[in-house]
């Protein structure tokens, strides 16, 4: 016997007048499913089904929710039929007796589809036994696929999945210090290493990798402290998690002595692999690159970046950087447009450098003709100016005249005159 069905026609879930019976059910059975029509399914595999059913009926009756009856059977439809039509408070249908027990039951037990029930009644079928006596082919041809499902149920073959599979417990490991407490968290490296070994071994056995691991410290005062460890990408690599643990232990500050430690995997994902491409030269080494990049990102967050450029008038405010994941680096996929021919590109100094410049007048502006590099004056051949101004909306006004200058030394420089300060700056160069 595996399914217990409680039939409580007057009980409605969510209504204030109805008692909440769910905690009571869960005290007796591990899994249950409740339907709005007052039917409660319970998983009684491995339990003394009839005894559990009687105890539940007694306890529910005490709550005064109206009529309560229970049925036990190998299939849901049998258990429901036993509960509704069994004639006793608790009815048990033994294995092998399902079809005969169902034979005299009405067809509306099998389906709630009114149209189908009308069709069946029109064909002169009155009970489950009438339907079960037909062949599956005849039922499917005349009444459709839904009728085949009802036909199966009429024969005691109910394939409904009432209970979702129980997810496996997340990998975890704990250690309690019974005889002593620890004040220095860094001393926990060795025990945590051992716990991590268990956790990573479980992950590998399940072909999973962890996105995060929660480290919990139980404190002597009864409290606890948590640290969530994350790596750049999900992994079951113990060495990587040990590094994260060490870093966390060095930083953690606890209010009291530690009386226990626990590690629990936060969320997991299955270990997966991509199908290779014969013409992708980088595919064979992708996993090595991902691992190398993940190690680097664990140490230096935000190390790998993608450049984004805006249209800000000030060149130094045009560039922003978005972090890349190991997968982004390994895939090497370019969101950027294709690069053109090899070309010198403008490079900016981290901050514009003030320089001394000699100028000559040209129409309405001054052109730089020499500038002081170290102790040497270098001649300049200059193009410009490109004038920009603005920034009043941010209370940081700017007004600059930019010149592209080729120096005697054979370098192409980007120089500007700050019209607000009346000073000259070297902003960048082409390389």
Nearer to another protein, 134 or 378 (CB): 378
Tell whether residue 247 is a contact of another protein (CB under 8 A).
no
- How far is the C-alpha of 349 from the C-alpha of 426, rounded, in Å? 8
Nearest-approach distance from CB 398 to another protein, in angstroms: 8
Nearer to another protein, 242 or 419 (CB): 419
Nearer to another protein, 148 or 296 (CB): 296
Q: List the interface residues with another protein, window 351-380 (CB under 8 A).
A: 362, 364-365, 379
Burial of 293 (0-12, 13-18, 19+ CB in 10 A): buried
CB 29 within 8 A of CB 42: yes
Q: Which of 324, 357, 415, 426 binds another protein (CB under 8 A)?
A: 324
CA distances from 17 to 12, 165, 185, 277 (A): 8, 32, 53, 64
CB 217 within 8 A of CB 225: yes
Tell whether residue 419 is a contact of another protein (CB under 8 A).
yes
Q: Tell me the pairing of strands 69-73 and 90-92.
A: parallel
Q: Tell me the pairing of strands 39-43 and 69-73.
A: unpaired
Q: Which of 30, 66, 276, 313 binds another protein (CB under 8 A)?
A: 313
Residue with token string 């036990």: 72
Tell whether residue 295 is a contact of another protein (CB under 8 A).
yes
Nearer to another protein, 105 or 400 (CB): 400
Nearest-approach distance from CB 424 to another protein, in angstroms: 13
Q: Which of 15, 64, 337, 394 binds another protein (CB under 8 A)?
A: 337
Closest residue by Cα to residue 188 from 229, 151, 221, 217:
217
Nearer to another protein, 70 or 315 (CB): 315
CB 357 within 8 A of CB 373: no
Q: Is 421 left (phi over 0), alpha (psi -120 to 50) or beta?
A: alpha
Tell whether residue 309 is a contact of another protein (CB under 8 A).
yes
Tell whether residue 389 is a contact of another protein (CB under 8 A).
yes
- The site string for another protein over 255-294 (x = CB under 8 A, - otherwise) reads ------------------------xxxx--xx-xx-xxx-
Of 47-55, 69-77, 241-249, 310-318, which segment contacts another protein by CB under 8 A?
Answer: 310-318
Tell whether residue 208 is a contact of another protein (CB under 8 A).
no
Closest residue by Cα to residue 149 from 231, 56, 76, 70:
76
CA distances from 208 to 67, 245, 267 (A): 48, 20, 10
Q: Which of 247, 348, 355, 369 binds another protein (CB under 8 A)?
A: 348
């Amino acid at each position: 016997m595996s399914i217990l069905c409680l039939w409580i026609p007057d009980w409605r879930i969510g209504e204030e007048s109805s008692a909440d019976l769910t905690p009571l059910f869960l005290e007796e059975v591990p899994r249950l499913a409740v339907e709005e029509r007052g039917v409660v399914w319970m998983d009684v595999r491995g339990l003394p089904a009839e005894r559990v059913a009687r105890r539940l009926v007694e306890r529910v009756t005490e709550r005064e929710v109206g009529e309560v009856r229970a049925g036990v059977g190998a299939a849901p439809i049998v258990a429901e039929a036993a509960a509704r039509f069994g004639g006793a408070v608790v009815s048990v249908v033994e294995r092998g007796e399902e079809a005969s027990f169902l034979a005299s039951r009405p067809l509306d037990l099998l389906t709630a589809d009114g149209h189908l029930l009308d069709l069946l009644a029109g064909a002169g079928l009155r009970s489950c036994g009438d339907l079960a006596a037909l062949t599956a082919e005849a039922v499917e041809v005349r009444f459709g696929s839904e009728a085949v499902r009802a036909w199966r149920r009429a024969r005691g073959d109910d394939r409904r999945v009432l209970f979702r599979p129980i997810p496996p417990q997340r990998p975890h490991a704990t250690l309690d210090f019974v005889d002593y407490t620890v004040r220095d968290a860094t001393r926990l490296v060795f025990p945590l290493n051992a716990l991590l070994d268990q956790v990573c071994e479980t992950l590998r056995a399940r072909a999973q990798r962890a996105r995060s691991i929660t480290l919990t410290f139980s404190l002597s005062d009864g409290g606890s402290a948590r640290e969530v460890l994350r790596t750049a990408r999900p992994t079951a690599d113990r060495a990587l998690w040990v590094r994260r643990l060490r870093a966390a232990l060095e930083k953690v500050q606890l209010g009291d002595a530690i009386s226990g430690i626990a590690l629990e995997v936060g969320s997991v994902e299955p270990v997966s692999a991509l199908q290779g491409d014969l013409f992708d030269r980088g595919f064979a080494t992708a996993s090595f690159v991902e691992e190398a990049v993940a190690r680097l990102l664990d140490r230096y967050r935000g190390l790998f970046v993608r450049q984004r450029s805006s249209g800000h008038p000030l060149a130094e405010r045009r560039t922003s950087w978005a972090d890349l994941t190991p997968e982004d680096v390994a895939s090497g996929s370019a969101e950027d447009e294709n690069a053109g021919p090899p070309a010198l590109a403008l490079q900016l100094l981290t901050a514009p450098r003030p320089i001394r410049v000699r100028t000559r007048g040209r129409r309405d502006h001054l052109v730089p003709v020499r500038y002081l590099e170290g102790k040497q004056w270098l001649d300049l051949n200059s193009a410009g100016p490109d004038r920009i101004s603005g920034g009043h909306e941010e209370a940081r006004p700017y007004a600059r005249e930019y010149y592209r200058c080729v120096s005697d030394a054979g370098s192409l420089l980007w120089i500007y005159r700050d019209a607000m300060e009346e000073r000259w700056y070297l902003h960048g160069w082409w390389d």
